[in-house]
Amino acid sequence: MTITELQRLYADSEIVEAVIEPSLQANGWVVEFRHRRGGFVTLTDGSGSEKCYRDIDTATERAFEVGFHQVRIADHF
């Protein structure tokens, strides 16, 4: 989902947690959001491809753009 789509979910209290974790597909970090009904949705670009960031700080900024004030960093592979 794009940032705009995720902002709508956040405003509607549909996503309840932001999580940054290592990407399984690239060398970097992805931002996922836990849905209130379970499961996760991933931040993607307009074409639906997973967005991968080089560093945790940039990934955190994207979670803040969605509306969250804190994020959980998951460092497992």
pLDDT tier at 76, thresholds 50, 70, 90: low
| Pairing mode of beta strands 15-22, 29-35 | antiparallel
| pTM of structure | 0.90
Domain ranges of the chain: 3-73
Query: Does the pLDDT of residue 5 top 60, yes or no?
Result: yes
Query: Does the pLDDT of residue 77 top 70, yes or no?
Result: no
> What pLDDT, on the 0 to 100 scale, is given for residue 48?
92
* pLDDT per residue as tens digits for the range 6-53: 999 999 999 999 999 999 888 899 999 999 999 999 999 989 999 999
Give CA–CA dist 61/36, Å, rounded: 22
Give CA–CA dist 68/28, Å, rounded: 21
Amino acid occupying residue 59: A
Helices (H), 1-67: 3-11, 56-66
